[in-house]
Amino acid sequence: MAERTAPSALAARLTGRTTTGERRLSGTLTEVTLDDGRKLLVKLGDGPGAARAEAAGLRWLAEADAVGVPTVHGHDGNRLVIDLVNQGAASAGAAARLGAELAALHGAGAPAFGAPPPGGPTEAYIGRAPMRNVPGGDWPAWYAEHRVLPYLRRAVDDRTIRPAEATLIEEVCARLPDLAGPAEPPARLHGDLWNGNVLWGADGRARLIDPAAHGGHRETDLAMLALFGCPHLGHVLDGYQRAAPLADGWQDRVGLHQLFPLLVHTVLFGRGYAEQALAVARAALGP
């Protein structure tokens, strides 16, 4: 099996270079050094098809020529080989640049809401949770059916959210056409843009890793950055707004876009995130 091949041997085969060493970083990550001094990362995927999905997502983001992402050298089985990012400190300037780059990425577009990257599977992942990329033409209906409700049903089945509580989130889904704001074309999303997936490069440019890339609403990426905190978030948003202003009322819609990742985290990590999802739903429905 491919997973039994040493990480250095896999990196050598996919790059055509000799390797000079490898260092285990975690149970799923290995750093490999090439003979020219470059360092690569060999990553074991979270589930079947995860490496393929991540490779396709990174390449799709790179094709937009907008945001920084690690170069993909290939994948084999459930292992992915990419460049290792030389990390530095976050700065206001790098954050503003990231905002402008995200605006350009989103503007590169997607064929439809839910469209997977070229070569990417329908059955993809967001973190360790399965995520289906099923295309749709109307964002409110697609978001409810393919992003919010599948995780709500799983949370109810797991008894993490009570059936009586689920009706609150179902009401948000029913009212999405009125709550979603002006219609937007499908944007090319990173799809899992929490702070841990933003690496601040030593060269002053951010790199995005671990995408759950798909066609979606551009406010979703920004809402996820806000949900889990991001250094210099105000500068990210300023840079974005200067490049591609968001529609009026976007601040009031942040919670709608956070509902999806909060329900994913409810399924993965339990009741604490369920409480946050329910609070977001109450706020979206208003008094």
Domains contained in the chain, CATH given: 2-83 (3.30.200.20), 92-285 (3.90.1200.10)
How does pLDDT run across 12-24, given as a tens digit for each residue? 999 999 999 999 9
Is pLDDT of 190 > 60? yes
| Whole-number Å distance between alpha carbons of 204 and 202 | 5
Give CA separation, 28 vs 41, 45, 66, 149, 255, in Å: 10, 8, 28, 31, 33
pLDDT the model gives residue 4: 67
Burial class (CB within 10 angstroms; exposed 0-12, middle 13-18, buried 19+) of 222 = buried
pLDDT the model gives residue 1: 40
By annotation, the residues acting in catalysis are: 192
| Whole-number Å distance between alpha carbons of 197 and 125 | 14
Look up residue 140 and give its two tokens: 């409110």
Dihedrals φ, ψ of 135, to 5°?
A: -65, 145
User: Average pLDDT of the chain?
Assistant: 95
Is pLDDT of 287 > 80? no
How does pLDDT run across 101-132, given as a tens digit for each residue? 999 999 999 999 999 999 999 999 898 899 99
Instruction: Work out the average pLDDT over 249-267.
Output: 97
Is pLDDT of 2 > 80? no
